[in-house]
């Protein structure tokens, strides 16, 4: 009977895997090493080529620049009728300093035999001892035998001291000068001689550059060659200035003249003093350049290791790879040994993970529920309402929905009288009443403290109205028992229809808020339905919309001041009344009649009044000429009812006491009578700082004049309704006359409003008014 093969132990199987990994690792290291070696060699060759080509181009440019300077010297002679020794030396000196290896600049004159006498006479003006010479075979100079048709003597040379022996020397029969001269004559262009040695620099390669100078006709055509500008340079000295680039990498530069087929060595420069090139491991690059009709081959040779990356780069990278691979292998072995144990732990963890996932899912659902529901009443909250309204309005259908906003009238009294726990109890009971009277398809929300909103699914407005009316009646008839205390409340509601024409959630909420507020203003415990055809609903809704516009304008500082002159009728000095306007987003003016009613109704007027006072004080501080007038500022009666406003205004004035004496605050007669004690105290406080006061719209209340004795005002502004008809209405004349007489007795100045023509102006002046104000006198202007 055959035995069944036993499975390999867990450890043995994983040791085999480790062996395979190790073999793969060694193979990787071998390939990585070869790749790095190839990469290093390639990069080193690229560095060598880059350094070498830049240097070769620099040497080439140095030679070209020297040739260009010789050409410029030839051009100088071509364009000048006569060049003196001084001019030549000045020109040559300015160019000589630019080149390190240049020995001399010279000028060779072409002289016909018949021109010799004239030439010698001219030459001796520059050099009195000037004589034509030639060289013997031993190199010494002797007088030239004058038996040729044409001579090529050196007329000028610079530097003079080092080259004075060559003055007058005719180099024509001396190689390699003769070859270069003849080639320049034949091609009419610049030429360079083959290699030669100078007696000043034995063993060094020198070359001569000849650039022909021409005589031109008037039309600019070449007539004939008249001479040559000559430059003498030593090649090794010319490159010495840039040899540091070669020495840095231990390079060798070899320059050969390959013009005539057989290479002639011009220069072999070892940057570190002697040849140190490894014959087996080196880079080489060569390039042939053409200079003055001769071909020069330039070759640079360098050792490979000079261009390898330092060990801290590529080779360190290989070491780092080896170390990392070793760490990974050790880590892998560790994983193999703990794999079996971890496998058991993993199985146990899976069960725990499933449990955790279920708990997380439950927690997520709970968080989603809490995010969309009110914790006190368990109704959906404002966040859920916004999402539902957006979805409802974006997916418009022909089916309309009815929405209702309810809240408890004067709910703050419940909290103040019975405590917040009692208030919470009432809110929960109110929510239950709502839930118990709507269908399962309808949705109820708690928006804020005592605000609740219901959206009826498919119900018509009339049916929904009956449901809300039932809820309000139940709340009214219910006595809420809290800790043996009876709490009675009632509620108000605003209703609106959500139709396919509804533009957004904000429109729905503003319509509901408008309707609910109207219901409250009518006494509460009732329902008001928003109707776009109902003037009352539309007017109130428009005022609600003004709330956001006013707040936004305050945030963006979109208010402006206009000033209207109040003319003095007895030469005591004019007054200025400050009028506020709101600016729309395009900068257009919105008159106060449009936004002030809403600002007063929704408790925003105090912000506008503070803004006006701040800007007037800033204007007075910035404009010293403004102190010629008193500045009248209107204060709203609604603002005066607020103790916080009155205290803040006193604080504003106290911060600029030096400006207070130029301020006149206007308050209406109605506000003064309705808040008599408050207004009197307020006026007394500001009088201490020098402020003055005016009673505006005086006479409109038809009250007794007796209170004037106790309210310390400085001006009375007679209501414009009396002034407009003062010419036709005897009754108005009598009222106005009595006001003027009483004002005189009390020492109060009078101001007539609505002066619209010259006749009215004459009449009020006749009646004894101190000031007049109206469009006939001045129209408001922006400041």
In the chain (783 residues long), the average pLDDT of successive 10-residue segments reads 50 63 73 73 81 84 87 88 88 79 87 90 89 83 87 90 87 79 86 78 78 77 82 79 68 86 83 65 84 87 72 59 71 67 71 80 81 90 88 72 92 88 93 94 90 88 92 93 89 89 79 87 89 72 79 93 95 91 92 88 90 95 91 92 91 92 91 83 93 88 66 91 90 90 92 94 94 95 91
The pLDDT score that the predictor gives to residue 1 is: 46
Which domains can be identified in the chain, with CATH numbers? 59-302 (3.30.450.350), 382-532 (3.30.70.270), 557-782 (3.20.20.450)
Cis, peptide link before residue 159, omega less than 30° from 0: yes
Residue in 611, 667, 658 with CA at minimum distance from that of residue 635: 667
Radius of gyration from C-alpha coordinates of the chain: 55
Helix residue ranges, H only, 442-591: 461-477, 505-521, 535-555
Residue in 616, 598, 493 with CA at minimum distance from that of residue 551: 598
Burial 155-177 (b: 16+ CB within 10 A, else e): bbbbeeeebeebbbbbbbeeeeb
3-state secondary structure of 297: strand
Distance between CA 716 and CA 710 in Å, rounded?
14
Assessment of whether the complete model's pTM goes beyond 0.95? no
Distance between CA 774 and CA 751 in Å, rounded?
11
Distance between CA 263 and CA 218 in Å, rounded?
45
CA 292, 297, 302, 308 torsion: positive or negative?
Answer: positive
Using DSSP bridges, classify how beta strands 443-446 and 451-456 pair: parallel, antiparallel or unpaired. Answer: antiparallel
Quickly tell me which residue has 């399962």 as its tokens.
440
Q: What is the token pair recorded at 718?
A: 């007679």
Half-sphere exposure of 394 (CA within 13 A, CB side): 6
Distance between CA 417 and CA 240 in Å, rounded?
105
- DSSP letter for each residue of 413-424: HHHHHH-HHHHH
The pLDDT score that the predictor gives to residue 661 is: 93
CA 672, 676, 679, 680 torsion: positive or negative?
Answer: positive
Number of Cβ atoms within 10 Å of the Cβ of 573 = 10
Cis, peptide link before residue 677, omega less than 30° from 0: no
Q: Is 606 exposed, middle or buried (0-12, 13-18, 19+ CB in 10 A)?
A: buried
For Cα atoms 526, 531, 533, give the angle at the middle one, nearest 5 degrees.
140
Distance between CA 72 and CA 60 in Å, rounded?
18
């Amino acid at each position: 009977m055959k035995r069944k093969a036993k499975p390999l132990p867990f450890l043995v199987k994983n040791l085999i895997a480790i062996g395979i990994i190790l073999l793969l690792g060694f193979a990787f290291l071998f390939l990585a090493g070869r790749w790095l070696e190839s990469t290093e060699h390639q990069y080193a060759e690229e560095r060598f080529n880059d350094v070498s080509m830049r240097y070769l181009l620099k040497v080439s440019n140095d030679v070209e620049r020297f040739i260009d300077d010789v050409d410029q010297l030839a051009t100088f002679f071509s364009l000048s009728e006569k060049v003196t020794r001084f001019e030549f030396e000045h020109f040559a000196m300015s160019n000589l300093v630019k080149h390190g290896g240049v020995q001399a600049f010279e000028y060779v004159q072409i002289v016909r035999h018949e021109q010799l006498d004239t030439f010698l006479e001219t030459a001796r003006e520059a050099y009195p001892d000037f004589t034509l010479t030639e060289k013997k075979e031993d190199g010494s100079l002797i007088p030239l035998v004058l038996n040729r048709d044409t001579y090529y003597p050196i007329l000028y040379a610079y530097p003079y001291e080092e080259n004075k022996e060559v003055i007058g020397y005719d180099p024509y029969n001396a190689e390699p000068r003769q070859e270069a001269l003849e080639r320049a004559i034949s091609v009419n262009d610049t030429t360079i001689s083959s290699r030669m040695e100078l007696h000043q620099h034995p063993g060094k390669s020198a070359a001569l550059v000849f650039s022909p100078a021409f005589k031109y006709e008037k039309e600019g055509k070449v007539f004939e060659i008249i001479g040559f500008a000559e430059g003498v340079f030593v090649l090794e000295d010319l490159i010495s200035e840039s040899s540091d680039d070669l020495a840095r990498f231990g390079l060798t530069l070899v320059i050969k003249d390959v013009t005539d087929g057989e290479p002639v060595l011009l220069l072999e420069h070892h940057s570190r003093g002697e040849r140190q090139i490894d014959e087996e491991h080196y880079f080489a690059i060569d390039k042939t350049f053409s200079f003055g009709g001769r071909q020069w081959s330039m070759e640079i040779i360098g050792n490979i290791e000079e261009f390898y990356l330092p060990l801290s780069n590529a080779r360190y990278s290989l070491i780092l790879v080896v170390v990392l691979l070793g760490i990974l292998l050790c880590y892998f072995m560790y994983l193999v040994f703990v794999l079996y144990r971890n496998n058991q732990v993993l199985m146990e963890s899976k069960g725990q993970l499933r449990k955790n996932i279920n708990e997380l899912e439950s927690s997520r659902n709970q968080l989603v529920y809490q995010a969309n529901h009110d914790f006190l009443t368990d109704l959906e909250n404002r966040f859920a309402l916004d999402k539902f309204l957006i979805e409802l309005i974006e997916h418009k259908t022909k089916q309309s929905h009815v929405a209702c906003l309810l809240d408890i009238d004067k709910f703050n009294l419940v909290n103040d009288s019975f405590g917040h726990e009692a208030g919470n109890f009432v809110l929960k009971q109110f929510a239950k009443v709502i839930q118990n009277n709507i269908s399962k398809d309808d949705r109820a929300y708690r928006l804020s403290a005592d605000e609740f909103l219901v959206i009826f699914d498919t119900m018509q407005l009339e049916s929904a109205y009956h449901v809300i009316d039932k809820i309000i009646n139940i709340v009214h008839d219910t006595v809420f028992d809290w800790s043996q205390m009876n709490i009675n409340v009632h509620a108000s509601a605003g209703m609106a229809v959500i139709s396919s024409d509804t533009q957004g959630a904000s429109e729905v909420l503003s319509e509901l808020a408008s309707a609910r507020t109207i219901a409250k203003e009518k006494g509460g415990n009732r329902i008001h339905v928003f109707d776009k055809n109902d003037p009352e609903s539309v007017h109130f809704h428009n005022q609600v919309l003004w709330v956001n516009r006013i707040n936004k304008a305050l945030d963006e500082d979109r208010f402006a001041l206009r000033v209207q002159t109040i003319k003095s009728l007895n030469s005591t000095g004019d007054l200025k009344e400050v009028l506020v306007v709101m600016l729309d987003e395009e900068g257009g003016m919105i008159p106060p009649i449009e936004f002030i009613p809403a600002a007063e109704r929704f408790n925003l007027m105090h912000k506008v009044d503070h803004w006006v006072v701040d800007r007037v004080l800033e204007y007075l501080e910035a404009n010293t000429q403004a102190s010629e007038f008193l500045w009248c500022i209107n204060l709203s009666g609604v603002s005066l009812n607020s103790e916080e406003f009155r205290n803040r205004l006193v604080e504003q004035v106290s911060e600029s006491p030096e400006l207070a004496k130029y301020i006149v605050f206007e308050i209406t007669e109605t506000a003064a009578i309705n808040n008599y004690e408050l207004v009197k105290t307020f006026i007394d406080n500001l009088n201490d700082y020098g402020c003055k006061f005016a009673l505006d719209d005086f006479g409109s209340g038809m009250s007794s004049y007796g209170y004037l004795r106790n309210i310390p005002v400085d001006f009375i502004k007679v209501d414009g309704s009396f002034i407009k008809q003062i010419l036709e209405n005897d009754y108005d004349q009598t009222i106005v006359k009595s006001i003027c007489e009483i004002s005189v007795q009390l020492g109060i100045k009078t101001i007539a409003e609505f002066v619209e023509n010259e006749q009215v102006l004459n009449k009020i002046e006749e009646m004894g008014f101190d000031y007049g104000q109206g469009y006939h006198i001045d129209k408001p202007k922006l400041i």
